[in-house]
Structure 1
Amino acid sequence: MKLSYTPTPLETWISHFYKQLGIKTPEELDEHRIARSLGIHLFYKEIPSMAYEFGRFKSITIDKRLPSLVQREHFYHELCHILRHSGRQLMMPAAFRELQEWDARNFTRYAALPLHMLKNYDYKQPEILDILSEQFKVTPELCSDRLLRIKSKLSCNPIRFIS
């Protein structure tokens, strides 16, 4: 018997998005590959991370002073802004800016550890967070947050069995 997990629409969309790009394993998750396939210019500079769009020009700049695992998380955050948001945050009301930032943090969890890649792990292993962190190249904290959210969703929903 298995527990049934119903993905959110965003989780489903991200898995579908990656599959369309031919990304099926953690090893294939690569910022340069993703950016190139979307026509996004990717830069690493000693400035705060940001996304920029002007007409058809799109770019993501990642703060290269950050640890590499955090840089990757910043990439997913900024990617969300390009894929899902519009407008200049400096010009918008605080509540709308906060909503976009919440969405980008949520997107980062799913994009960094996509559901279709999480199915073949043994989550009872004591070192699972280190394993996921190493394979997905993100912080153990992000991995922990992702797994806790999955677990809470499983315990909040009535358990359904798949035969």
Structure 2
Amino acid sequence: MKVIYTPTHLEEWVSRLYLRQRIREPHDICEESICRFLDIFLFYKEAPSLAFESGRFKSITINSRLPKRKQRERFYHELCHLLRHVGWQLMLPKAFKELQEYDSQNFTRYAAIPFHMLKYFDFRDPNIIPLMADRFKVTEELCNERLSMIKNSLIMNNKILERT
């Protein structure tokens, strides 16, 4: 039986966004280029990471004290807020803020390890997590989360297929 992974709508959306920018392989991912394409100013400062939007002005500030791989992950998180969320989080009800944070966490996994790049990896490789972390320049923890999500989706889809 052939195993087929079906991406979520958000995974497909992220891949389309990247492919419009000609981001096809892990080494093509560049925070500065993504920001240029999306007209977002990017700053690295010794300050908490945040996304800011006022009218047509959009910016992302990344805490420069974080390790490089964590900086990249924070970039994806803040990028999600600019691309997918509306409202000043400090003014939002708790439930909406939690929903946006959950969405940003998912987006971070998908933006860090895009669906259209999964084909470049052999998931049977016992060193897949450190290999992907190195290629995508993110933490092993994030890679493990992403691969766990894929595995859980495959298990769930397989159970659904067995019932039909």
Same fold (TM over 0.5): yes
Instruction: Measure how far apart 1:74 and its partner are.
Output: 0.1
Instruction: Measure how far apart 1:99 and its partner are.
Output: 0.5
Match of 2:81 in 1: 81
Aligned Cα root-mean-square deviation (Å): 1.0
Cα distance in 1 for residues equivalent to 2:139 and 2:158: 31
Cα distance in 1 for residues equivalent to 2:157 and 2:40: 39
Match of 2:21 in 1: 21
State the percentage of identical aligned residues: 57
Cα distance in 2 for residues equivalent to 1:120 and 1:40: 29
Q: Secondary structure at the match of 2:119?
A: coil
1:1-163 matches, within 5 Å, as: 2-158=2-158
Describe the superposition over 1:105-152 as per-residue Cα deviations: whole angstroms up to 9, x where unpaired: 010000000010011211111211111001000000000000011011
> Which of structure 1's runs of 4+ aligned residues deviate more than 2 A?
none
Q: Secondary structure at the match of 1:119?
A: helix
Cα distance in 1 for residues equivalent to 2:115 and 2:2: 16
TM-score, scaled relative to structure 1: 0.95
Describe the superposition over 1:58-98 as per-residue Cα deviations: whole angstroms up to 9, x where unpaired: 00000000000000000000000000001000111111011
Q: Secondary structure at the match of 1:158?
A: helix
**1:48 partner amino acid:** P
Cα distance in 2 for residues equivalent to 1:105 and 1:122: 25
Instruction: Measure how far apart 1:2 and its partner are.
Output: 2.6
Gaps of 5+ in 2: none
**2:17 partner amino acid:** F
Q: Which has the higher helix share?
A: 2
Describe the superposition over 1:19-73 as per-residue Cα deviations: whole angstroms up to 9, x where unpaired: 0111000000010000111010000000110000000000000000000000000
**1:42 partner amino acid:** L
Gaps of 5+ in 1: none
Cα distance in 1 for residues equivalent to 2:137 and 2:120: 17
Matched residue count: 160
